[in-house]
Structure 1
Amino acid sequence: MRYPPEPWHLRGSLVISVFRVPRDEVPDGHLPVGARLLTVAGNAFVAVAFVSYEPGGVLSYEELLVATPVWDRGAVAVSVPQIWVDSEASRQGGRELWAIPKELARFGRGSSIAAVAATGGVPLPGRWRLAGTIAQCLAGRDARARAAMSGRVGLARAAWLFPAAGPLGYLTGRTPLVSLTMRDMRLTFGETS
């Protein structure tokens, strides 16, 4: 399977929620040597996002990911312990280029991973921009990459369903601290750091 060379330029939209989870319940096998989860009073912060990458970027696909803030090389970074995509090119490229543990999945009714419904929303002014480092380890290989995202952000209410027996069962019954949407999103991923 062929995939685009880095960096990847993608467009789309997303819904993201942040949960507070006891540190010992959060997966950490994805952390590179020397990195550690950031915690407050024994809790980590886990962001769960459903992303729809649309035509106009190098690939079009859907993605469900979990991200955690980490302390890596003297700075805050983000690490992805769990992620599913519905594109073989995205799965292979993510694994080979950046050590992101992408797995294949189908989304929609009956998903055994998660479902989300976002409602309401208060648009925040302007176009927001975020940039930072992604720090990963997969099969004993450490990798770091740069990512930059921009888009129109809104506060939202997101109702997530995580089947208790599924891979995100540790989030079952948890209420998000905050939920956001991003429309007209532009993402550049993969400038190696």
Structure 2
Amino acid sequence: MTNIHLIEPLQLLNDDRHIRGTRHQLWLVLLLILLGAMTGYWGYRPLADFIKVHRESLIELLDRDDPIEFPSYSTFQAKINKISDLKSLKMVYPSAPWNLQGYAVQTLQLVDVARVRPLVPSELEIVSLLPGKTLGGIYISSYGLGSVMEYNELIVVSAIANYAGEWGAWISHIYVDNPNSVAGGREIWGLPKELAQFSWEGSDSVKAAPLGYRVTVHQENRQLCSLNYSQQTLALPLPLSGNVFSADRSNLLLFKGEFKSRIGLIRGELEIPEESHFANINLGQPLLTVACEDMRLIAGAPEVVGNITAEFSY
């Protein structure tokens, strides 16, 4: 595979920076920003994560004889701030807390602790509800009018964890269809958000699946999951809140999610193909599936609650 058709035009751009102190060529910085953005890595830290995750593929793609020194997080920050033509690439997102309104479907499953242990920082104790089992699940939502921004979201909770007496959910995978949400999620909460495509099917009069409704999430040609679910019949208005852990390099973060919604039990059937990024978690069929209508969610600002001895990468 070659990217010469992309590199050559970038190399023609004029670099007006002073030659002294110019450590990375402009075309390389631009190329990495474009490749990162196309795969959902928006923002300074996400671009550094993009290089870390795809380093070997980038070296093969560039196919250069001389050694490649890739830019760091601080380099991306400095370059983007200094180059006026790149300022339009900055994502715009509000500061925390985020107020979101819409609809969601949530599944609850028992998950093998041994399977998810590599996905969770060692500083967190995984809480076992049964011997060798923790609680996980899939949360798929659509945030609409009244939200700080409109987007769809898929969250994979792989464990319930404990740190210094605080319990919270650990999110190992998270996908949205709005680049601004990707940037905000990564920069504010340290969450590993990626871009994906969402398809909601079914209505009160037209069934899209045996249970009536279906939501499917894809990343390009890769299907991540599909959830078939029934219509909500009986719902009770409930206020709920819970903690969520996340990691920002060497910092362990904790933030609170608070929401009010009409919540009711529904039937749900989850399909996760082998090609899915989270297939190895081995989420089985849900123990419970709930629908959340007229939902109002507040994602609070994170706090640093501890340090991670080895820098954690999702």
Q: Tell whether the structures are fold-level matches, with TM greater than 0.5.
A: yes
1:98 is matched with 189
Equivalent position of 1:11 in the other structure: 101
Please give the alpha-carbon distance, in whole angstroms, between the structure 2 residues aligned to 1:162 and 1:135.
24
2:242 corresponds, among 132, 152, 155, to: 132
> If each structure's strand is expressed as a fraction of its own residues, which one has the higher value?
1
5 Å-filtered alignment, 1:1-193, equals: 1-26=91-116, 28-31=118-121, 34-39=123-128, 40-67=130-157, 68-108=159-199, 111=218, 112-125=223-236, 127-170=237-280, 174-193=284-303
Question: Cα deviations across residues 87-134 of structure 1 (Å, max 9, x unaligned)?
Answer: 111111011111111111112367310111210444233x11111221
Q: CA RMSD in A?
A: 2.0
Structure with more relative contact order (C-alpha pairs < 8 Å, separation 6 or more): 1
SS at match of 1:175: coil
Flag the 1:58–1:169 CA change in 2: closer, same or farther, 3 A. Answer: same
Change (3 A) 1:38 1:63: same
Q: Is the Cα contact below 8 Å between 1:84 and 1:104 reproduced in 2?
A: yes
Instruction: Point out the structure with max Rg over C-alpha.
Output: 2
Question: Aligned residues, how many?
Answer: 191
2: distance between equivalents of 1:91 and 1:21? Answer: 27
Percent identical residues: 26
**88-97 or 36-45, larger mean C-alpha shift:** 36-45
Are the counterparts in 2 of residues 162 and 171 from structure 1 also a CA contact under 8 Å? Answer: no
2:87 aligned partner? none
Query: How far, CA to CA, are the matches of 2:116 and 2:198 in structure 1?
Result: 23
Measure the CA separation in 2 of the matches of 1:110 and 1:179.
Answer: 18
How far apart, CA to CA, are the structure 1 residues paired with 2:275 and 2:116?
Answer: 16
Secondary structure at the aligned position of 2:257 is classed as: strand
1:140 offset after TM fit, Å?
3.1
Contact 1:163 1:172 survives alignment (8 Å): no
The structure with the greater share of residues assigned to helix is 2
5+ long unaligned stretches in structure 1? none
- Asked whether the 8 Å contact 2:224–2:275 carries over to 1, the reply is no
In structure 2, distance between residues paired with 1:28 and 1:14: 28
Which whole-Å CA distance do the structure 1 matches of 2:245 and 2:176 have between them? 19
CA shift at 1:10, angstroms?
A: 0.5
- Bigger Cα displacement from structure 2, 136-145 vs 91-100: 136-145
Q: CA deviation at 1:26?
A: 2.0
How has the CA–CA distance of structure 1 residues 81 and 171 changed in structure 2, closer, same or farther, with 3 Å as cutoff? closer
Q: In 2, distance between residues paired with 1:41 and 1:123?
A: 33
- Residue identity opposite 2:137 in structure 1: A
Unaligned runs of 5+ in 2: 1-90, 200-215, 304-314
**Deviations, residues 121-152 of structure 1 (Å, cap 9, x unaligned):** 44233x11111221111433322212101100
